[in-house]
Amino acid sequence: MRLTIHPGSPTPVFQQICTGIAERIRTGELVPGQRLPTIRELAVQLVVNPNTVARAYRKLEQEGLVASVVGRGTFVAGTGSPPPGRRLASVIADLLAQGTDPEAILRQVREILSTPSEEAADAPR
């Protein structure tokens, strides 16, 4: 897999890596189940810090594009969205990073859960 990084770009290097891999998944150059280079391999290839590659892989995993298997590597998962639990965790992490009070998040979640959805309201009883 060949990626090109532009060090002078205003786009962070980890984001350039994410974009490059995501584009290759979308075009079919990388297919589900295909193993990606290890963090170290890609870091050496791109001449970047391994932490930068690790950050990119984590973001791609949060987006549901890759899956990491401990001791085996990182693999293309496809183009689907992440599982609901991971999406929720990502949203909560974003809210916390923006300074939202954890109690406010809990109140909002409780309110959403206590409000019947349209599907539930239309379901036979």
Count Cβ neighbours within 10 Å for each residue of 101-120 and write b for 16 or more, e otherwise: eeeeeeeeeeeeeeeeeeee
0.95 exceeded by the pTM?
A: no
Is 5 contained in some domain?
no
- For residue 53, give the CATH number of its domain: 1.10.10.10
Q: What would the pLDDT profile of 12-31 be if each residue is shown by its tens digit?
A: 999 999 999 999 998 889 99
Task: Report the distance separating Cα 52 and Cα 21, nearest Å.
Answer: 14
Is 4 contained in some domain?
no
Do residues 55 and 102 both lie within one domain? Answer: no
Residue range of the domain that includes 50:
13-76
Check: CB of residue 28 under 8 Å from CB of residue 45: no
Is 106 contained in some domain?
yes
Number of folded domains in the chain? 2
Q: What would the pLDDT profile of 46-101 be if each residue is shown by its tens digit?
A: 999 999 999 999 999 999 999 998 888 999 995 555 556 666 776 787 788 888 99
